[in-house]
Amino acid sequence: MMRCHIGLYWWEVATWRRHSAKVNLLLLFGEHILSIDVDGNLFVWGFKGIDENLAPVGHIMLGENFTPSCIMHPDTYLNKVILGSQQGSLQLWNISTKTKLYEFKGWKSSVTSCVSSPALDVIAVGCADGKIHVHNIRYDEEVITFSHSMRGAVTSLSFSTDGQPLLASGSSSGVVSIWNLEKRRLQSVIKDAHDGSIISLHFMANEPVLMSSSADNSIKMWIFDTSDGDPRLLRFRSGHSAPPLCIKFYANGRHILSAGQDRAFRLFSVVQDQQSRELSQRHVTKRAKKLKLKEEEIKLKPVIAFDVAEIRERDWCNVVTCHMDTAQAYVWRLQNFVLGEHILRPCPDNPTPVKACAISACGNFAILGTSGGWIERFNLQSGFSRGTYVDSSEGRNCAHNDQVVGVACDSTNTLMISAGYHGDIKVWDFKGRDVKSRWEIGCSLVKIVYHRLNGLLATVADDFVIRVFDVVASRMVRKFEGHTDRVTDLCFSEDGKWLLSSSMDGSLRIWDIILARQIDAIYVDVSITALSLSPTMDVLATAHVDQNGVYLWVNQSMFSGTSEVQSYASGKEVVSVKLPSISSRGEDSHLEEDNVPALDHAESENAPFRPLPQQMPDLVTLSLLPKSQWQSLINLDIIKARNKPIEPPKKPEKAPFFLPSIPSLSGEIQFKPSEAANKEETTGDVNKTLPRRVDESASQFLQLLQSSAETKNFSSFTDYIKGLSPSALDMELRMLQIIDDEEQQDAGSREELASLELLLDYFIHEISFRNNFDFIQALVRLFLKIHGETIRRQSKLQNKARELLEVQCGVWQRVDKLFQGARCMLTFLSNGQF
């Protein structure tokens, strides 16, 4: 199966299905695409008529003793391609006639890469034995041979086109070699170009710039501008070369901190990729060259846990990390993106690996827990120890009898919570360092997560059950079951109302703590190992098994979108989704439509308006728009008056030197014909073209409104007007104004009157179902401000307005009753004497 994407922001336009085996080669060939699978089937696909015909244009079956390994098109060879094989031979095929023209014997080594040179009839062939053959395909003669067998197989080749006779070759060991074709020798070697096998090399057209990409998840740009002709690194982009272990949002959701198995600690920017970088571990490159080791061997061991405090970013180190099988923790300064100067060593007399860490809410202290049950507090500014937490009842000079699974601090530095591997949870006095309360879970703990605002502690045990505890009351308040395999990570939402959990069973579940039930669940084809929800709750970041990237899920795509909350709680309706890709449109927008329950056709036609799927009974649903957007609708006149220029534009003091005129006998200035035409276009035609554009925008507004009213589904119309700016929405509403006309006495026959009636129906529908409550209230106010006089004169609109008033009063009374009940409860509790 093949998918075709188009544009800078990719979306799927076609899916080609004909291969029965894995597709391993693709070639863009004019208006066609060639695809080859491991069984030797070559299909030709055409772009023309892609919407109507998805069948291949042609098919070629290669021989049984020919396993294709690479494909290329030699320049000036019309409709011809060269195929390399694992057996070492090459074949020249005519795609148009589907005939094999010639077969090259090869060099008894598997062909791994093949590229055309700027010289006609000459190509370069790279082999698995490390040799590069520059070959003339017209006469089947070898021009020159290069060898770098000590560096592995040749994986990529590229010729320079800026006039320098250079050939770049990449190897499986990550080394890039530059060969001089005139001198027929090796010119330079980039030994540490990449940490993995070179995937692709490409010289920019007519420029001394070489691009390289590698399996280490990096792309680099090299420029040849030095006096000795050696390339230097110009710029690069890179990510984790091994799957991430821990991720966490930072800086109000603008960045993501990520620690991977490749021993790298990275900061990714969600807004701009240029701001993404790896945190420095102090002179790793210099030390690696001095010791003649790889940089990965010099770096710290992989991070298994970390915590961050934004409040002290400008003062001192604000990140602490625990590393695999390491008896000390390290601190980092995010302001300078560098490793800190202090190393935190708990229990120096009996060092054991650090397993858990936490930073206090004030950002001054770091709490570390070790595999030996030791818990110690450090000052982040000085790096000195500030006391240990010891439970004398344990019979040992430590906090727990076994490994510390997790530690956490409350928001006021009053309490410290710790959890042991065997299920014992203890609440400590932060300053006094003595135990205030404790309880047992009864099974081994895997992970704990603490939410500072609501004081709830979520725990995961090896029985796959999530338990939520009230730390102050020392009792369990919630228990969530549903996962069938090991729970890999937990995450609270910023407001503390949701709890997200991921498991090795491939599921991502969202639990509502207030309702004490599951509200959503999805299955991912690759299990999630780490997750983090942004503070704004609009983006979810996930890491997956054997995946080097950090995947972002937007709020709309994170939920499965079925229509019954009860189906989530029962776990029966769980939608399977695929991992997010770089495509902004496509199959991710419809999450496996076959798995979404469909509404009965007869029922959908007779049913009235339906509420939104995520709507809770007896509550209102907000629009989730920025506050400034719907507030600007109310204060639009004030904004326009404020932005109005104080002084009118002034005329220029001097006329232009060249006047657009021609001499005449009468002495009057006459415009040139072209200038006169332009003058007419800029005066009279503006009044003709501008309304046409406005009519097109208004027609789209009215068409969506009418189609939504016919289908009794206003979701598309709501999405459209929510995407408009306040000034554009104001213009759309003003275009429906009824202007008095003496010649037309019957105003009821106007189209604008029907549009106003549809808008009132829309307001009644949205308010009755309490959808987009804040946005609709602002929109109704603007609508009445513009069309209030028209509604007063028309009896039809008056009836609709009375119906809108009744619905508005009924909904507001219900909401006000909820407010008053909550206010009375708070007043009673705040004035109570306990």
- Residue-wise pLDDT for 5-25, tens only, equals 433 345 577 788 888 888 889
Q: Are residue 134 and residue 258 in the same domain, yes or no?
A: no
Q: Are residue 133 and residue 211 in the same domain, yes or no?
A: yes
Do 493 and 536 touch, CB atoms closer than 8 A? Answer: no
Q: Are residue 183 and residue 269 in the same domain, yes or no?
A: no
Distances in whole angstroms, Cα of residue 633 to Cα of each of 45, 627, 760, 809: 51, 11, 18, 22
Q: Are residue 234 and residue 251 in the same domain, yes or no?
A: no
Q: What pLDDT shows up at residue 442?
A: 87
Residue partners of 231: CB distance under 8 A and separation at least 6: 176, 178, 188, 190, 210, 222, 223, 224
Closest CA to 198 of 162, 222, 180: 222
Do 15 and 4 touch, CB atoms closer than 8 A? Answer: yes
Question: Rounded to an integer, what distance in angstroms lies between the CA atom of residue 54 and that of residue 40?
Answer: 21
Q: Is residue 282 part of a domain?
A: yes
Q: Are residue 126 and residue 189 in the same domain, yes or no?
A: yes
Q: What pLDDT shows up at residue 384?
A: 94
| Residue 240 one-letter amino acid | H
Q: Are residue 181 and residue 106 in the same domain, yes or no?
A: yes
* Strand ordering across the sheet containing 303-308: 303-308, 319-323, 329-333, 338-344
Do 292 and 268 touch, CB atoms closer than 8 A? Answer: no
Do 114 and 125 touch, CB atoms closer than 8 A? Answer: yes
Domain count of the chain? 3
Q: Are residue 248 and residue 233 in the same domain, yes or no?
A: no
Residue partners of 142: CB distance under 8 A and separation at least 6: 133, 134, 135, 136
Q: Is residue 281 part of a domain?
A: yes
If you ran DSSP here, which 8-state letter would residue 651 be given?
P
Residue 86 buriedness (CB in 10 A; 0-12 / 13-18 / 19+): middle
Q: Is residue 759 part of a domain?
A: yes
Q: Are residue 229 and residue 250 in the same domain, yes or no?
A: no
Q: Looking at residue 381, which CATH number applies to its domain?
A: 2.130.10.10
Q: Is residue 402 part of a domain?
A: yes
With a cut of 50, list the residues of the chain below it in pLDDT. Answer: 5-9, 557-565, 567-570, 583-614, 666-667, 669, 671-697, 741-745, 833-834
Q: Are residue 26 and residue 90 in the same domain, yes or no?
A: yes
Question: Rounded to an integer, what distance in angstroms lies between the CA atom of residue 307 and that of residue 300?
Answer: 17
Last residue of a domain, one of 373, 405, 440: 440
- Of the chain, the percentage scoring pLDDT greater than 70 comes to 81
Last residue of a domain, one of 382, 415, 440: 440
List the domain range (segments joined by +) for residue 188.
Answer: 11-238
| pTM to 2 decimal places | 0.66
Residue partners of 559: CB distance under 8 A and separation at least 6: 510, 520, 522, 614
Q: What pLDDT shows up at residue 247?
A: 94
Q: Are residue 355 and residue 372 in the same domain, yes or no?
A: yes
Q: What pLDDT shows up at residue 122?
A: 93
Last residue of a domain, one of 424, 440, 456: 440
Q: Is residue 730 part of a domain?
A: yes
Q: Are residue 233 and residue 251 in the same domain, yes or no?
A: no
